[in-house]
Structures are given as C-alpha cells and as structure tokens.
Structure 1
Amino acid sequence: MRAKKTQAIAHRGYKAIYPENTMLSFKGAVEAGAHAIETDLHLTRDGVVVISHDATLKRCFGVDRKIIDCDWEEIKTLRTLKEPGQPMPTLREVVEYLATSELEAKGVWLLLDIKIDSPADDIMRLTAETISKVHEGTEYWGGRIVLGCWTLKYLPVSERIHHIGYSIPYAQQFLDHQDVGVNMFWPVMQTAAGKAFLEELKDAGRSVFVWNINNDAGMKWAIANEYIDGVCTDDPVKFLKYVTPDNI
C-alpha cells in the first residue's frame, strides 16, 4: 500500500443512510469521517442557488416541476419523500456550514457539481456571489471549494475546476488548461485507455477523483491505485473501513 491518502468524498452527503443532498446527509457524512462533501447546484426562477441533483422536484420531493420554474419561497416549504423528511438546502447554508470552526479544523472541503442545464454565466456568477457573502477571498477558501463541470463552456468563468465525465477523449481536452483536474466514472478508468489516461494525468500533475464507487471491489481498487486522490461514494463509512493506516 502507498503512503498517499485516498480521500472519502461523500456523494450527495451520506446518501446510503440519509435523504440525499440535505444538511442531515452532509452532517452525517462529516460525522462519519468523510474528507469532503460532493453536491449539486441548480438555480431557482428567482436566482437562488440550491442543492439538488435532479433538475426537477419529482424524485426527491414528489412535485412534478422543474426547479428553474419555481421560486425559492415555494421550494423551501417542501420536504423529501425519504424519511426523515428534510428541506432542500441553499448553497449558502452549505457554505456557512463549511465555514464553521469545526469543519475548518477538520479541513473538510466541498466539491460542487455544476449541472449543465443551468446557464453557465448565471450559475457561476451567483455561486461566486453566494460564497463571497459568507466569506470573501480565495485565500480564505483555498482548496476547500472545488467546482466540478461537465463541459468546456465553464472554463472561461472559473479558475479551479474538475471536469466530471465518462469520456476519456473529451476529458483529455481539459489537459490543455492549467490546474484542471478530473472526476471520472470509475469503470472507464479500469480500461487500458483509462490506465494510460491516469498516467497522463499524473505526469501533468493533475488531481484525479473517481465516481461513484459503492462496492467492495471498486473501493479496494481505488485505494490501492497510486494515481487516484479521492473517491466519490454514497457510503463513506464503508469506504473508510478499507483505508489502511498507510493511506490516512
């Protein structure tokens, strides 16, 4: 085993136990020992940056409407179908939690998945404004907030990002841009092309995450792989039990 740490990135929080993308799920992940929280951003009709994987409210809240077609005043009254019923958080709530002394001391960081159905300029501007209202300055946040994007269109409006994707040829285009890491669908990285791409990324000094690993074999593979820095998982407790002292 290598001495380099493999970080547990809690996918939508502690999704295996709690309603996904809720403050309860995020706090549960931190209590479980996760190094980071991965979550998803959408915009409401009135420009509030909210936390949701889906563009609609149906799967998690039972309301067949798009988030972009609803105002925050309406959305904040909803509760998750999964018990215990939880409200949808705003990005500001999550960032305020990240800024607490407890999480600052632990070094917990945030991976934000910017959904492709949101206008790039609007969501990036409003995300930056939201973060700066909690605490200004990139020096304060350092590496504690990482933006994840699916397409090249976000590069002109962001400084520190990780490309999220399935396609190695598409992901390779991001190597033309400095300081861009990747967060790749993990089975792709087990192929011959994936192994070669991992070496290419490390030669370029890029950070590498993989998603979304929930089975034992996948977790063991990722922890043993010297090129992988972090793993997105629904179950950080299960993942961390495979992390040996050499990896911590």
Structure 2
Amino acid sequence: MATAKIIGHRAYRGYYPENTILAFNKAKEANVDVIETDLQMSKDGVVVINHDQDTQRCWDKNYVISETNWDALQSLNCKDARFQDQKMPSLKQVLRWIVDNPSMKLMLDIKFTNDQEIMLKSVAEMLSTKEDLLFWRERVIWGLWTVDWFRYGMETGVIKDFQVACISLSLEVAKSFVEYSRELNSPHFRLSGVSMHFVSTWSKTFQKKWLHYFQQNNVEIFVWTINHAVDFKYCNALPISGFVTDFPVEARGAIGQYERSKTTFKRPFFISREGFRFYGFLVIYRLTIEFLFSPWAQYKVFGNFSFSLLFIKFMRIIHFL
C-alpha cells in the first residue's frame, strides 16, 4: 500500500487559528499533501472561508454569515489573543495563495446549508484569479455532503474533470454518491473519493463489505478527523488514501511509526483501557448514525437548537467529532 496523504484539517487547526492564511502557511511548512478548508457565502455573495454558519466561535463579533455583508465579515479579528491580527479570508484570497504556492492542493468542504450557487461562484473566482481551468482541476477537490450537490455540479458543468469526494458520516450516503457516479458512467463526472469518520473503518462490516465496494469502484478512502497515535495504528493498517488531521507533523510521525508493510489491523483486548475506548467509539459511531439520520433528529427542542445540533455539540465535547 502507498503511504497515506496528510490532509491539514482547516489548514492547521491544532496550533493555529483554523482556516486563516497563517494556518495555510503553517500547513505548507508542515508539508501537508492537501489542505481541507470550509466554504460559506456572505449576504452579498462573497465566498468566504469559515467552518461555522456564524462567527461566534472563532471571531470577535457574532454574525450569521449568510445574513452579513463581506465588508463586516472582513473587519472581524480572531478571538485568540495570540493571533488577533488574523482575519477571515475570502475564497479569492486563498485562491491567490494557491497561485503563489502551486505545489499545494485544496479540498473544499462546502456545507450543505449553503445555496448551491456557491459552486458557480467558486469556479468564477478560480477563473478570475487565474484563467486556467486545468490549473484548478489539478489543485482543487470538491468535498460534497449530499448527492444532490453532485448532481447540481454535473448539470451545471462546474465539477467537470475536477476530483469530487463525498464527505459523510454515513456509508449509505457514500454509496448514493458511488451509485450516481456509476449511473453517469462519464470520465468527466465521477466520484474520486469518500471522506469518512475514522471510526467507521474499524467495524467488521466496513472491512468485509464496504472496503471492497469502494475499491471495486475505484474510489479512494479518506478519514477524518484523526489525531491520536493509537488511531493511526488501526487506520494505517487499512488501505486508506489520506488522513485529515489537526496535527500534520505528529500525524506524519505516527504513520511512520506504524509502517504499513509491517502493520495489520488487530482489535484490542476488550478489557483494557485501549479496548474500552476502541469498542466504546464503535458503539458511539453506530448510535450517531442511527440518531443523526432519524426523521426526528431535526426537531427543535431549545430555541434554534435541534436534537441533532445538541448531539453534535456533545460529540465534540468528548472529541468524537
């Protein structure tokens, strides 16, 4: 098996303000193979780099991005006192950074809460930055959450000859991407990868069924967000193409420690500290899938907070998401 790629999560989230130009520069210094970053769109149609729909977590004022113009968003300062000079970048600024650093690649994680028009605007920004589609096709991976976005990208032509990856917690959602790609049967519009939660690859079902299914359809497997050395031990024993991580330097050291040619996937003894975590995470993963994809998960229980949003917040507290 080839050595897995290191994908910087929100550039270099572990030590630097996520999705900032500083984090992009540090990710390059850390020799990541790909930078994963997140797209939102402002009220006046500017594509910006931010994970959340609002600015409360990372920035010094709280705005809903889709309800706020770019001039207000670009005036924000980073909340972290060590990095108050950092600003929210626009996609245009990041694309200029790619032109200046052409050895780098981007995985654009587009949140499905956006208007699908964001894909058209993103390609327009690419061409206005450098009028060379081949250049961008070699450096941009579209990360999409639902198959209707894949369909939109095909119907509008914006993803033609780009790499496309499904990002999902659900293997069934990933399957819908694979089946749609097979239905299209086009070399210009095909699914190139799936990006899954790393725990999903630990199950016997994944290793006996899904792994073969993705390989049979020539689909690469990426996992997120993997930060602990013991988790690399399990995942690096599998034919996974890339690890999305907050700590790129440590991740590269970990996969070097667990050399693929000498590592086999071996589940830990249940009655051990490692075993409790391993099997506990598998249970949490199954419950997460059952819960988040249930028909009542979006029911609002507290203001604008749905069951699913509260559950996701809890998963983040225990470092599962």
Settle same-fold status: TM greater than 0.5: yes
**Counterparts of residues 71-90 of structure 1 (less than 5 Å):** 71-82=69-80, 83-85=82-84, 86-90=86-90
Deviation at 1:225, TM superposition (A): 1.6
Q: Which residue number corresponds to residue 133 of structure 1?
A: 128
The letter for the 1-side match of 2:8 is A
Q: Which residue number corresponds to residue 117 of structure 1?
A: 113
Distance 2:54 2:256 in 1: 40
Q: TM-score, normalised by structure 2?
A: 0.71
Deviations 1:67-111 (A, max 9, x none): 0111111111101112312100011111111122xx32xx32100
Deviation at 1:155, TM superposition (A): 1.2
Distance 2:47 2:256 in 1: 38
Deviation at 1:169, TM superposition (A): 1.4
Aligned with 2:235 (options 222, 233, 240): 222
Q: Which structure exhibits the higher relative contact order, with contacts defined as CA atoms closer than 8 Å and separated by 6 or more residues?
A: 1
- Between the two proteins, what is the percent identity of the paired residues? 30
Please say if residues 168 and 197 of structure 2, whose CA atoms lie closer than 8 Å, have aligned partners that are also in contact: yes
Q: Which moved more, 1:230-239 or 1:62-71?
A: 62-71
Q: Which residue number corresponds to residue 201 of structure 1?
A: 214
Distance 1:156 1:170 in 2: 14
Distance 2:242 2:95 in 1: 21
RMSD (CA atoms): 1.6
Distance 1:152 1:132 in 2: 25
Max radius of gyration: which structure?
2
The letter for the 1-side match of 2:177 is F
Distance 1:171 1:155 in 2: 12
Aligned with 1:175 (options 167, 178, 182): 178
Deviation at 1:134, TM superposition (A): 1.4
Distance 1:126 1:29 in 2: 26
Q: Which residue number corresponds to residue 153 of structure 1?
A: 148
Deviation at 1:15, TM superposition (A): 0.7
The letter for the 2-side match of 1:88 is M
Q: TM-score, normalised by structure 1?
A: 0.91
Q: Which residue number corresponds to residue 46 of structure 1?
A: 44
Structure 2: which 5+ residue stretches go unaligned? 154-158, 183-189, 261-321
SS at match of 1:219: helix
Equivalent residues, number: 239
Matched, 1:237 2:249: yes
